[in-house]
Amino acid sequence: SPWRPLLLLLSPPAFSTTCARCAKDRRLRQKRAISERQLTRYFVDQRKVRVVGGQGGGGGHSFHSEPRKVFGGPDGGNGGDGGHVILKADQQMKSLSSVFPFYQGFHGERGGSKNCYGANGAHVYVKVPVGTLVKEDGKVVADLTQHGEEYIAAYGGAGGKGNRFFLSNENRAPKFFTPGEPGQERVLQLELKTTAHAGLVGFPNAGKSSLLRALSRAKPAVAAYPFTTLNPHVGIVHYQDYEQVAVADIPGLIRGAHQNRGLGVAFLKHIERCRFLLYVVDLSVPRPWLQLQDLKCELEAYEKGLSERPCVVVGNKIDLAQSRINLPLLREQVAERVIALSALTGDNLEELLLHLRELYDTYVKAEQSQGQSPVKW
C-alpha cells in the first residue's frame, strides 16, 4: 500500500516484526529437537597428556678399510636427533576429545660407517583447538590463541657421537662412542577456553540456546527444564559481506557459580575469551532486571573487569503478554541498550544482528589500532 510508510512513521511499533527474508521464522522452520548426547560427539575441555620426546640415535663404531689402505682410521658417524612432540593450534578442532593421553616422538637412527650420520626422528604434531591453555604443575606455559601457532611440548634427545668424533693426535684409533640421549618427558594439562566473539550469558531457561539456533545454524538442545545445555556451543553468524561472527552459548549460570555451584567454574572460564557479551534476560519473570544484576555480580566475582566488557541486554520472550508489560520497566532500570525479541517467533532478530555487527566492527578496529590481528572465523 502507498500509505504504509506514512503509517509506520506516525505509529512506530515498540519492536519490529522480522520478515522471512531477514530472519528465520521459527513457526515455519522448526528444527528437529534432539538430545544433548545425540547433538555432538563428547565435548572435552580438559585433558591430561604425557609427552615424551624421541630418543637420539647412538653413535656409529667402525673403522675405514679398503685395498691398499687397511688402517683408514675411525669413520663412525653421529646418531640422529630424536623427534619433538609439538602442539599445534588448528581452527578445525573444536574439542580436546581427539587428544590421546600419551605421545612420543620418533627415535633417531644410529650413525653408520663411512662417516654417515643417522637420520633425525620425525616430529609428532598434536592438533589442539584454538584457545588451548597448556599448564605444567598448575603454571601456564603456553597459550595457543592463533591458528597455526605451535608449542614444543617435549624436546627429542640429542644423537650420540660416533668414534670418528673422538679422533685426536693422542688417540688415532678411538673405539668408544656415546649412546643417544633420552627425550624430554613431561606431564601437561590441556585446558580449552572457547574463543568466540560474543558470549550468550544468562540463567537457565532464559532462551540462550533458542536464540543461538535462530541466529545461526548451530543446533543446541532445547527443552523446558533447566541445564538443558551441558556443553558450550559456538554458532557462526554470516553476513552479506562474508564476515563471520562467532557466538558462544555458555551453559546457564546460577547464583554462586563463581563458587563452583551448578556447572560453576567449569564453564565460566569459557566467557573469558569472549570480546563482548550478550546478556539474555527472560522478560516474562517478575523484575527481570534482577537477573542482569546477578549475572554481572557472578562475572565480576569470577574475574574482575569481566562484567565491564562491551555488552547488550537481550530481552527474550517478547511474544508473551507479561513480557510486554515488563519491557518498559526493564529499560528504566538498566543503563545498557535493551533489545527486545523472541527467539521462538523470530520477532526483531534483525535489530540484534545489526547491533552484533556494530560490536564486532568496533572490536576489529580496536585490535587493528593496537597492531594486533583480530580473531577471524
Average model confidence (pLDDT) for the chain? Answer: 80
Q: Mean of the pLDDT values across residues 95-113?
A: 90
pLDDT exceeds cutoff 50 at 319: yes
Determine which of 11-25, 173-187, 279-293, 302-316 has the lowest per-residue pLDDT on average.
11-25
Task: Give the pLDDT score at 87.
Answer: 95
Give start-end residues of each CATH 2.70.210.12 domain in the chain. 43-193
Q: What is the pLDDT of residue 256?
A: 46
What pLDDT band is residue 234 in, cutting at 50, 70 and 90?
Answer: confident
pLDDT at residue 6 in the model: 45
- DSSP letter for 116, please: P
pLDDT of 12 reads 47
Q: Is the domain defined by 43-193 classed in CATH 2.70.210.12?
A: yes
* CA nearest to 209, candidates 7, 344, 30, 306: 344
Pairing of strands 276-282, 46-52: unpaired
Mean pLDDT check: name the lowest of 20-24, 56-60, 335-339, 345-349. Answer: 20-24
**How many Å apart are CA 377 and CA 356, to the nearest integer?**
15
Residue 2 predicted with pLDDT over 80? no
Whether 157 shows a pLDDT value over 60: the answer reads: yes
C-alpha cell at 353: 544482528
Nearest by Cα to 309 from 263, 337, 265, 278: 278
Identify the CA nearest to 356 among candidates 344, 345, 341, 368.
Answer: 341
Highest mean pLDDT among 49-53, 172-176, 250-254: 49-53
Q: What is the pLDDT of residue 305?
A: 82
The count of other CB atoms within 10 Å of the CB of residue 23 is: 22
Q: Point out the least confidently predicted range of 19-33, 257-271, 318-332, 363-377.
A: 19-33
Q: Is 303 helix (H, G, I), strand (E, B) or coil?
A: coil
Average pLDDT value for residue range 306-325:
88
pLDDT given at position 36: 47
E-state strands within 63-129: 85-90, 102-104, 124-129
Between 6 and 246, whose confidence is greater? 246
**pLDDT for 44-97, tens place per residue?**
778 899 999 999 999 988 888 878 777 778 888 999 999 999 999 998 887 788
CATH 3.40.50.300 residue spans of the chain: 198-370
SS3 184: coil
Name the band, by pLDDT with cuts 50, 70 and 90, for residue 230: low
In the chain, what are the helix, strand and coil shares in percent, each to the nearest 5?
20, 20, 55
Amino acid 254: pLDDT: 54
Alpha-carbon distance of 228 to 242, in angstroms, equals 32
Pairing mode, strands 244-249 and 233-238: antiparallel
307, three cell numbers = 562484567
CA distance 233 to 289: 26
Query: Does residue 373 carry a pLDDT above 80?
Result: no
Res. 38: pLDDT tops 80:
no
Question: Per the structure block, which three cell numbers stand in for 367?
Answer: 585490535
Which of the pair, 312 or 305, is modelled with greater confidence? Answer: 312
Q: CA angle at residue 333 from 327 to 339, to 5 degrees?
A: 45
- What is the rounded distance in angstroms from the CA atom of residue 333 to the CA atom of residue 291? 12
Average pLDDT over residues 111-121: 89
* Closest by CA position to 15, among listed 349, 348, 355: 348
d(CA 317, CA 136): 45
What would the mean pLDDT of 177-189 be, rounded to a whole number? Answer: 93
Range of lowest pLDDT (182-196, 258-272, 319-333): 258-272
- CATH class given for the domain over 198-370: alpha beta
